[in-house]
Structure 1
Amino acid sequence: MTNRRHFLAGLAAASLAPVRGWASVGAPDYLAAALFPDGSYRLAGLDINGEILFTLPLPARGHAAAAHPYRAQAVAFARRPGTFAVVIDCTTGRETARLEAPKNRHFYGHGVFSANGNKLFTTENNFEAGEGVIGIWDSQSYTRLGEFPSGGVGPHDMRLMPDGQTLVVANGGIETHPDTGRSKLNLPVMRSRLSYLNLSGRVLEQVELPRAMHKNSIRHLCVRRDGLVGFAMQWQGETSQHPPLLGLHRQGDAPHLLSAPVADHSTLQGYAGSIAFAGDGQTVAITCPRGNALHRFTVDDGQLSGVFPLEDVCGLGPGTGGFVYTTGTGLVGRLRNGKAKTFAQPRCQWDNHLIPIRGPA
């Protein structure tokens, strides 16, 4: 494992001064949170081959992170219902700021920078009102500039669309309150939706699932370079039912739901953890840690193109010609040419997500 101290020592030996860009930290391809053997929670930068380029301390368990588009800076978010987000200078390993959710708010574990990097947007819960909000933060001072409604309840993941002017938000529909921890308070009446918002908070489009699937919580997102959105879901209904856990949506159209044959799909326990388009954008995949499987689909026809048994697989990102994945057992692997291959096994337990630093496929 290449840690930050060794990396900076190498720079000093080569008489190089660290710079602010991502190249100064070995040009990582992904960020991921993990639990390490010493009991510490850390944010790691990984390259395309699964090598850890640096690790940086977190005050508690992390969930996902946002990478600044230009500066070697990351914002690591606490797991829901956490109230902190840590801003880390990845060239020095120093915490440079800490975001605290305002009164009656908590973070949902995800956020995204504006295209120019000047603002950070965060998914949050206004738990007294039972409504979702998007927080707006200045990315120089990390002071809060304001907020606007997320377009639904329980906003979880959020992505910036390729136009640089639109946010797509996964409003999972589940109401929670810190007083009851992670308990789900409104399952009989929950409604999940995708919300497209401009950067001022104006709703551009809302997309809901058929009424019979109102308990299918839209949780995580990926966006292809042409604006096609993939979304992963988590079923909150009867365990005897096995609705689709993956959908595709293009603005102005109806959502297209994808599912494996029942023999494979019924083993997933109604839970998709992460979603990503492949590096070439031709396939899309979901990870299913409860079912110990990764399911891959062809985008053009929506057909299942591969089922890959992988224990506790959850983190997923685009890779060269395929995908890169992480598992709770510490594996980093690559899915390419129809084969899943492990190429690294750091001594850690990877958390839910593998965040690509670069743009969509």
Structure 2
Amino acid sequence: MKTLILPFLLLLTFCISCSPDNTDALEKNVTSHDVYVAGMENYKACYWKNNIKTNLFSPDSTTANKIIVENNNVHVLGKTRTNFNGSYYYWKNNIRLNLEQYLGIPAGHYYKILDIAVDGNDTYFIGYYDTLSPVAVQRYAFCLWKNGVKTELNTSDNIIYDDSKISVFNHQSYISATIRNAGTTESGYYVNSVFHTVPGIIRVCNFTETSSGIQFLYIKNYNYYSMQLSTNTEILAANFSHPIFTFGKISGEKTSADYYITGRMLMNNFYYKNDIETTFPLDPDYEIIQDLFVLDGNIYVIKQKGIPFASKVYINNNEIQSITNPANTVVNAFNSVFVVVN
């Protein structure tokens, strides 16, 4: 009998320690993550790793708009704040490249770099520039750059590309876009350089990959819709009908079917988890959800407020970091969050 009891007790101890409700396991799940936050302090681009700041090499007045960490490399996209056009920069481990020069954009031509994605050792940018072509339909060139090599995706006589975003899944680039095709405007997405039209879109957003597959978020009929790209199955992702949208982002992770949608303009202080409206329980005066990231079931959120402008970072509704501004200025901000297992 003793030989039977001892293995049973050992098995019971093992099961309790591995329980998903175990507080120590949950705490370890959070503390084993490195949290990177990109933004600016005193008009200087920078990022914080677990609240410790790194100033990005930047003699200009700049801000960091997006941060990605992969294979222990820190990638940051940012720009100057000194004029309407500005200059765009890319830092890899704090080594800075001027993107106008690196991407071969003609000097002095108006341009915008819209987004960045990283896949292993490959870095992708999307954006457009004014070619100054006398042929109207060739005026603005919408481009994908992979490791600095350009692929021209579309040209137009008007700036119609500002909402575009890029992600890379299975070594293929996915780019949301509104394009000009045979004199008409179409919206949808590219897989590499092949365009797929999705009827009825009035604004494109971004992509995420969940356990259900690759999800493409867009605005249609003044609501957020998501399409599962492997089956072309469309769902009403967030039932929030309103004619004004300036931003939309879908977030998720490959180990879960859950997805999260954040937005701007009248989606203040709440987000959608799947199709359920969820109010953020803390700091309602920080009404803008600037960014949201999901890893191992934990939710990382940046929130901002208006006057006086300020930003905060939260993990699972617990504040971990904040930054404020002197009155009537915006010189400090958190803009982007990215999390990795350490």
Q: TM-score, normalised by structure 1?
A: 0.62
Residue 145 of structure 1 is matched in structure 2 by 149
Q: Where do 5+ consecutive residues of structure 1 fail to align?
A: 1-25, 138-143, 175-188, 236-241
Matched, 1:132 2:142: yes
Q: Distance in 1 between matches of 2:234 and 2:155?
A: 17
Q: Distance in 1 between matches of 2:119 and 2:322?
A: 34
CA contact (8 A) 1:246 1:257 kept: yes
Residue 23 of structure 1 is matched in structure 2 by none
RMSD between aligned alpha carbons? 3.6
Cα 1:327–1:60 change in 2 (3 A) is farther
> 1:1-361, aligned counterparts within 5 Å?
28-34=34-40, 36=41, 38=42, 40-47=43-50, 51-58=51-58, 59-62=60-63, 64-65=65-66, 67=68, 69-78=70-79, 82-89=86-93, 94-100=94-100, 101=103, 102-103=105-106, 104=109, 106-115=111-120, 117=121, 119-128=122-131, 129=138, 130-137=140-147, 144-149=148-153, 154=161, 156-161=164-169, 163-164=170-171, 166-173=172-179, 190-197=185-192, 201=193, 203=194, 206-210=196-200, 213=201, 216-224=202-210, 227-231=213-217, 233=219, 243-260=222-239, 265-266=241-242, 269-277=244-252, 281-291=256-266, 292-298=268-274, 303-308=275-280, 310-328=286-304, 329-335=310-316, 340-347=317-324, 349-350=332-333, 352-356=335-339
Question: Post-superposition shift, 1:112?
Answer: 1.5
CA contact (8 A) 2:303 2:313 kept: yes
Question: Post-superposition shift, 1:218?
Answer: 0.8
Residue 7 of structure 2 is matched in structure 1 by none
Aligned residue pairs, count: 272
Deviations 1:294-351 (A, max 9, x none): 32232xxxx325233551221111144242111223111134xxxx443332346535
SS at 1:209 equivalent? coil
CA contact (8 A) 2:208 2:253 kept: no
Q: Which has the higher strand share?
A: 2
Report sequence identity in percent.
9
Deviations 1:220-244 (A, max 9, x none): 33233663224255x8xxxxxx611
Q: TM-score, normalised by structure 2?
A: 0.65
CA contact (8 A) 2:176 2:205 kept: yes
- Which of the two has higher C-alpha Rg? 2
